[in-house]
C-alpha cells in the first residue's frame, strides 16, 4: 500500500468510528429518561434514522458534483453540531431537531466511508481495508456507548452527549490526510464527456440482500435488554439494563475483532464468506434466544458482532465490485439506504412475525432472526460455492 493510500485508509478509519453514532448515547439513556419524564426518549435514537435514509439516497448523487472530502467534512460537522449542542439545551423538542442534524452526519459517514474504500482500493487490499473499516465502526460504537454511560452518571443527563466530541479527532485526520479529489463527473479532465453513472442488477441485488438481513439485524440492539429482564435477571431492572449495556458492548468488540480477521477469512473462503457469516448469525441468535445465564448471553452477543462484521464487509465489497468505478458511490449509497430501511422497520417486522410463534416475543424475535439468517445462509452459501468452483475453471 502506497503512502497516499495509507493516508486515505487512515482517513476512512478515522470517521468510520462515527458510523454507529446513533446508539452512542445508549449508555446514558436511563439518566436522560429521568430528566425528561413523559417524553418519548427512544426518539433520540429512532429519529436520526429518517435523515440517515434520506441522506444515503442523495449522497451517491452528490458525489458526482461535490468533492468527497467536502462531503465528509460536512458530515463530521453535522455530527459534532447535532451531537454536542443538546448539552446546552433543556427543551426536548429542540434536542430532537439537533438529532435530525446529527442523523445527516451519520448518514454521510456511512455512505462515504464505504464508497472511498471501493474507489481507492482493489483486490485483497480492498478486502483488508473494508474489514478494518468495519472494525473501526464497531470499536467506535463500543467506546461511545461505554463512555456515554459514565459521562451521564458523573456529569448529569447532558454529559452523555459529550461523547460526540470524539468526532473532532475524525475531523482533524480527514483535513490532514484525505486528498481533495475532483468530483466524479470531472475526473476525466479536459473536454472529454463524463462517463454515465449506471447501476447494475447485481448492485440492486446486494442492496436488497442487506435490507433483508437488517429486517432481523437490529433484534439484538432492540430486544436484548427486554430478554435479559424477562429470562435472565427477572428481579432487578437496573441490573438487567446494566448487563444489557455490557452485552451490546461485547457485540461491538466481536465485530471489531472479526474485522481484523476478515481479510484472511475472505482469502480462504472467497465467495462463500457471506454464507459463513450468516450461519454465525444463526448460532449467535439461537445462543442468545435460549440463554439462561449472563455468560451464555455474552457468547451469543460476541458471535453476533462477528456476524455483522462479516456480512457488512462482504456485501459492501461485492457492491463495489458489481459496478464501474464511477458508479461505486451511488451503488454503496443504495446499499447503505437498504441497511437503514431494514434497521428502521426491524422491530415492527420481527415483532409481528414473532407473535406468530407464540406469546414469548422476547425469545421469538431471536428465533425469527435465526430462521431468516439460515434461509439467507443456505442461498448465499450455495451461490458462493458455485462461484468459487466456476472461477478456477474459467481461469
pLDDT in tens for each of the 395 residues of the chain? 667 889 999 999 999 999 988 878 877 777 888 889 988 887 888 788 889 888 988 887 788 789 999 999 999 999 999 999 999 999 999 999 999 999 999 999 988 998 898 888 888 888 889 889 988 988 888 888 778 877 887 888 899 899 999 999 999 999 999 998 877 666 555 444 456 668 899 999 999 999 999 999 888 877 887 888 889 988 776 677 678 778 878 888 899 899 889 989 999 999 999 999 999 999 999 999 999 999 999 999 999 999 999 999 999 989 989 988 878 878 888 898 888 888 888 888 998 999 999 989 999 999 999 999 999 999 999 999 999 988 665 54
pTM listed for this prediction: 0.80
Rg (CA), the chain: 21
pLDDT for the residue numbered 12 = 94
Distance CA 218, CA 345 (A): 9
The predicted pLDDT at position 193 comes to 46
Q: How many CB atoms lie within 10 A of CB 36?
A: 15
pLDDT value, residue 239: 74
The CA distance from 104 to 102, in Å, is 5
Q: Write the DSSP string, 268-302.
A: HHGGGHHHHHHHHHHHHHHHHHT--SHHHHHHHHH
Amino acid at each position: 500500500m502506497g503512502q497516499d493510500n495509507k493516508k486515505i485508509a487512515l482517513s476512512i478509519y478515522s470517521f468510520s468510528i462515527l458510523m454507529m453514532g446513533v446508539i452512542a448515547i445508549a449508555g446514558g439513556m436511563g439518566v436522560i429518561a429521568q430528566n425528561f419524564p413523559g417524553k418519548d426518549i427512544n426518539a433520540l435514537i429512532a429519529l436520526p434514522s429518517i435523515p440517515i435514509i434520506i441522506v444515503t439516497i442523495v449522497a451517491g448523487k452528490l458525489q458526482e458534483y461535490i468533492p468527497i472530502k467536502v462531503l465528509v467534512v460536512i458530515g463530521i460537522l453535522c455530527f459534532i453540531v447535532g451531537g454536542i449542542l443538546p448539552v446546552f439545551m433543556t427543551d426536548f423538542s429542540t434536542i430532537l431537531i439537533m438529532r435530525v442534524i446529527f442523523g445527516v452526519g451519520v448518514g454521510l459517514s456511512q455512505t462515504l466511508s464505504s464508497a472511498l474504500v471501493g474507489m481507492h482500493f482493489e483486490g485483497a487490499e480492498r478486502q483488508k481495508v473494508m474489514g478494518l473499516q468495519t472494525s473501526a465502526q464497531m470499536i467506535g460504537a463500543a467506546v461511545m456507548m461505554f463512555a456515554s454511560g459514565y459521562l451521564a452518571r458523573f456529569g448529569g443527563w447532558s454529559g452523555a452527549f459529550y461523547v460526540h466530541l470524539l468526532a473532532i479527532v475524525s475531523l482533524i485526520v480527514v483535513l490532514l490526510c484525505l486528498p481533495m479529489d475532483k468530483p466524479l463527473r470531472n475526473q476525466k479532465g479536459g473536454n472529454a464527456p463524463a462517463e454515465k453513472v449506471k447501476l447494475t442488477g447485481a448492485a440492486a441485488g446486494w442492496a436488497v440482500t442487506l435490507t433483508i438481513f437488517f429486517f432481523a439485524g437490529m433484534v439484538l440492539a432492540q430486544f436484548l435488554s427486554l430478554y435479559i429482564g424477562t429470562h435472565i435477571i427477572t428481579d432487578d431492572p437496573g441490573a438487567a439494563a446494566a448487563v444489557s449495556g455490557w452485552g451490546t458492548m461485547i457485540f461491538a468488540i466481536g465485530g471489531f475483532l472479526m474485522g481484523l480477521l476478515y481479510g484472511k477469512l475472505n482469502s480462504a473462503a472467497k465467495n462463500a464468506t457471506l454464507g459463513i457469516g450468516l450461519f454465525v448469525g444463526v448460532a449467535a441468535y439461537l445462543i442468545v434466544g435460549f440463554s439462561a445465564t449472563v455468560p451464555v448471553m455474552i457468547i451469543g452477543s460476541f458471535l453476533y458482532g462477528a456476524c455483522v462484521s462479516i456480512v457488512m464487509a462482504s456485501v459492501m465489497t461485492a457492491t463495489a465490485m458489481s459496478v464501474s468505478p464511477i458508479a461505486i458511490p451511488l451503488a454503496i449509497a443504495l446499499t447503505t439506504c437498504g441497511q437503514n430501511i431494514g434497521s428502521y422497520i426491524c422491530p415492527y417486522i420481527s415483532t409481528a412475525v414473532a407473535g406468530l410463534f407464540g406469546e414469548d416475543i422476547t425469545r421469538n424475535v431471536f428465533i425469527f432472526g435465526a430462521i431468516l439468517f439460515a434461509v439467507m445462509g443456505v442461498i448465499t452459501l450455495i451461490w458462493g460455492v458455485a462461484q468459487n468452483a466456476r472461477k478456477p475453471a474459467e481461469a
